Amino acid sequence: MDNANQINLPADFFLHKLEEAKIHFERALDCKHTEFDDLYPYMIEHPQFFWYKRYVAWSELLTIVKLCEELKLPWTERFATHQAEYVQKRVMSSKVLDYWYETNDSKEHVG
């Protein structure tokens, strides 16, 4: 893209969207209410619902991270080191689901 076609959006916008996507993923991880529940209320009755909800939130997070990388925004500082590593690997593995909150001594969860 040449400079004439470049759109200038504030970095704060993308970093705010990154924070929202992180919270959305963490709420999905904790099986808490998200926008997804409102969009597909009938899905709650299906056993695969929570897996799919997490997948959607993970995909959203990866999309925002990709945009931050393309814009050269410092996204990794918004995550614990191990969380940033999971995101960089891009695969939502059982390790991501099991150890997202792991710190040296405790677990932290979204309120």
Q: What is the pLDDT of residues 7-33, one digit of tens each?
A: 667 889 999 999 999 999 999 999 898
CB atoms within 10 A of CB 37: 15
Q: What is the pLDDT of residues 74-101, one digit of tens each?
A: 999 999 999 999 999 999 999 999 999 9
Per-residue pLDDT at 106 exceeds 50 = no
What is the domain partition of the chain in residue ranges? 9-99
